[in-house]
Amino acid sequence: MPLSVAVAKTSIATPPLNSCAPDFDKAKNSHSSDVLILGGTPSGVAAAITAKDAGLKVILLSQDRVVGGAISNGLDATDIGNDLAVSGYPRYFFGLVSKFYKSRLSWRLEPKVAEKMFSAELLRHGITVKRNVSIKKVVIQSNQIKSLTTKDGQRYCARTFVDATYTGDLLALSGIRTHVSDSDLMSYNEPAAKHPSMSLVAAFKRANRADVSRAFAKNPYIRSYPQLPNPEVIYKHGMPSMTYRVCVTKVKSNRVAFTKGPHYAVWSPSWKLFMKFYFGKQNPAFMTVNANGTILTALWQIARLPNNKYDLNSGRSSFTNVPVPMDYYTQPSYRNKINVEYAEYLQDFLHFVQNDPNVPIAEKHALHGFGLCADEFVDNHNWPYSPYVRAGQRVVGQKTLTAGDIFNNRLKGDSVAIGSYRLDMKPGLFVYSQGKLFQDWAVFFKAPVYEIPFGAMLPRKGVRNLITSVSLSASPLAYSSMRMEVQFMALGEVAGFAAAEAIRENSPFRDGMYRPVQIELRKVGAIYKIEEICKMMTHKERVVEHFHPPTCKAHGVY
């Protein structure tokens, strides 16, 4: 037995971890570190702080002008699923939020507060942060990333790398195979994804078809086809949806009115048609206000934030969810142009809803009195710097999380984080064909708590000193559940610990690293096994979350 073990070890020997030349920092515009993180998202911040606390030299490169990703850009009514599943770094961060607002544990904050808190944490830990970074080149040697070069001529060498971007940019630049959006929707034998279909939104029976066709042809976010394509064709080439999470208020002293831009007259005819033919007996206009102050309509979900502010999100109709162009991933230099064009579109639509007579009274009333917050995004006309992109490129990993894992195979030996949010695939594509408007497929299923495997963070093939904390290997359905900021933050913490372990071993990332990572997670109070969460639940909660109440043994949902 000892002999066979020794032979096995020799056969899988790994090369040492990439190292930077001793004099690399002495060269002009050159910087070296133990860990380089691309992506100033909450996940990237968590990875940076965790690695720094482990004694590593860390550099964080943010592609935006702020750190904090979506949370610093308007997504401030944070979705969490089961709050018992939030532990470790995300629990710590939102504890800081509660202290700031002098309230009980809160998942809601203001964008400017989020950015200040993330920045303050990075400063307190002495982490080097570069903003507005654009990567030009990746140098790969011996199946490891050696260095990055930015468009402004800076070079960064590191021993390990973390892709914490929403869009999977470092994966793509390193030649790692990925999936985008729904291109692999029907590849995982998931019952809910076997027969996706387009749903009818409106039939323009009493309208001149030529006028309707012209109106929708001028809307950049609605595709027109002479014949409706097979849904499977649409999904194979599908794209994720995005929207802006806009911070709004009714406080007059802090309110900036929604204004219309030069394209308003071009876009508004399609909006008028939508209002006239969407709302009716099948889709009645409504407005409800939840106990927590959230305003709900077909067009909007407007969630209350501290200091009389609100997080404005797309509502049930998903009319302001739009498809992310493929250029957003393949040509990052186009992103700013895409963002600006969509920002103008949405600002015009907000003005339209408040002022156009074709808008139902309930929708007009829900948005009445709201405007942008004058004290938010003050150097960007009070508009978020970046939209909320719901899914980027997902790595083809050593393990892949599917809907079957969420509902039935919930336990993972290499579990490093907990997921708990609903499967929530937002539609983002509207299609006009032959007098009818269709919308792409959507999913909204309640999910139990489940475990996220470490192997889903590691590329199956390619460079070996790269780990991702956002673009995990998952089916589109499964990713729609785990794409929440608290999960990304927890996975960022995992990536930081994994980087420390890789450097300690002087070995690239490997699947067996989950064991020492689990030990470090336990030290900081991060929970990665769902049975531990079960033990904190009441009997009723255990039943709801599909545990055997006396033993906390997890069982399948279906």
What local confidence, expressed as pLDDT, does residue 102 receive? 95
The DSSP 8-state label assigned to residue 548 in this structure reads E
Residue 6 has a pLDDT of 31
Provide CB contacts within 8 A for 391, sequence distance 6+. 180, 181, 240, 476, 479, 480, 483
For residues 183 and 239, the model is more confident at 183
The token duo for 242 is 């995005």
User: According to the model, what pLDDT value does residue 331 have?
Assistant: 87
In the predicted structure, residue 435 carries a pLDDT above the cut 60: yes
How much of the chain exceeds pLDDT 90, in percent? 84
Query: What is the torsional sign of CA 243, 244, 248, 253?
Result: negative
Would you call 94 helix, strand, or coil by DSSP? helix
Residues sharing a CB contact under 8 Å with residue 291, sequence separation 6 or more, in sequence order:
none
Query: Could you report the per-residue pLDDT of 331-366, keeping only the tens digit for each?
Result: 888 999 999 999 999 999 999 999 999 999 999 999
Q: Which position has the token pair 């720094």?
A: 52
Q: Distance (Å, rounded) from C-alpha 25 to C-alpha 316?
A: 52
Name which of 355, 348, 341 is nearest 265 in CA terms: 348
Residue 131 structure tokens:
């903003």
Q: What is the pLDDT of residue 238?
A: 63
The answer to whether residue 556 scores a pLDDT higher than 50 is yes
Please state, in angstroms and rounded to a whole number, the distance separating the CA atoms of residues 335 and 329. 8
306 with 372: CB under 8 angstroms? no
Q: What pLDDT sits at residue 194?
A: 81
Please identify which residue in the block is written with the tokens 């939508």: 274
Q: Locate the domains of the chain by residue range.
A: 26-178+392-401+457-526
CA distance 534 to 344: 47
Q: Radius of gyration (Cα) for the chain, nearest Å?
A: 24
Contacts of residue 533, defined as CB under 8 A and 6 or more positions apart, other chains included, come to 82, 84, 85, 418, 449, 527, 545
Q: Residue 93 pLDDT > 60, yes or no?
A: yes
The two structure tokens encoding residue 273: 């048609």
Rounded CA gap, 358 and 536, in Å?
51
Any bridge partners for residue 445, and if so which? 423
Residues 115, 119, 122, 125, Cα dihedral to 10°? -130
328 Ramachandran zone, left/alpha/beta (phi>0; psi -120 to 50) = alpha
User: DSSP state, 186?
Assistant: T
Worst-scoring range by mean pLDDT, 7-11, 27-31, 410-414, 529-533?
A: 7-11
- Residues 138-180 have pLDDT tens digits of 999 999 999 999 999 999 999 999 999 999 999 999 999 999 8
* DSSP result, 253-315: GGEE-----TTHHHHHHHHHHHHHHHSSSSS----EE-TTS-EE-SSEEEEEETTTEEEEEE-
* pLDDT confidence bin for 229, thresholds 50/70/90: confident
Q: Is the per-residue pLDDT at 494 higher than 50?
A: yes
**180-184, 281-285, 295-299, 385-389: segment of lowest average pLDDT:** 180-184
H-assigned helices in 368-484: 403-407, 476-482
Confidence (pLDDT) at 112: 98
Tell me how far apart the alpha carbons of residues 301 and 251 are, in angstroms, rounded to a whole number: 19
Lowest model confidence (mean pLDDT) among 342-346, 410-414, 423-427, 522-526 = 423-427
Q: Is 223 within 8 Å of 437 (Cβ atoms)?
A: no
**Which pLDDT score, from 0 to 100, does residue 467 have?**
98
Give the tens place of pLDDT for each residue, 1-27: 232 233 333 334 568 999 998 888 888
Say whether 161 sits in a helix, a strand or coil: strand
Superfamily of domain 26-178+392-401+457-526: FAD/NAD(P)-binding domain (3.50.50.60)
Element (H, E) at 141: strand 135-141
Please, are residues 38 and 48 in contact by the beta-carbon 8 Å criterion? no
Long-range interactions of 322-327: CB distance < 8 A, separation 24+ = 322/221, 322/241, 322/242, 322/243, 322/428, 323/221, 323/238, 323/239, 323/240, 323/241, 323/242, 323/428, 323/429, 324/181, 324/239, 324/240, 324/241, 324/242, 324/389, 324/428, 325/239, 326/180, 326/239
* Cross-strand pairs, 201: none
Instruction: Work out the average pLDDT over 374-398.
Output: 95
Judge whether 121 and 58 are in contact, CB under 8 Å.
Answer: no
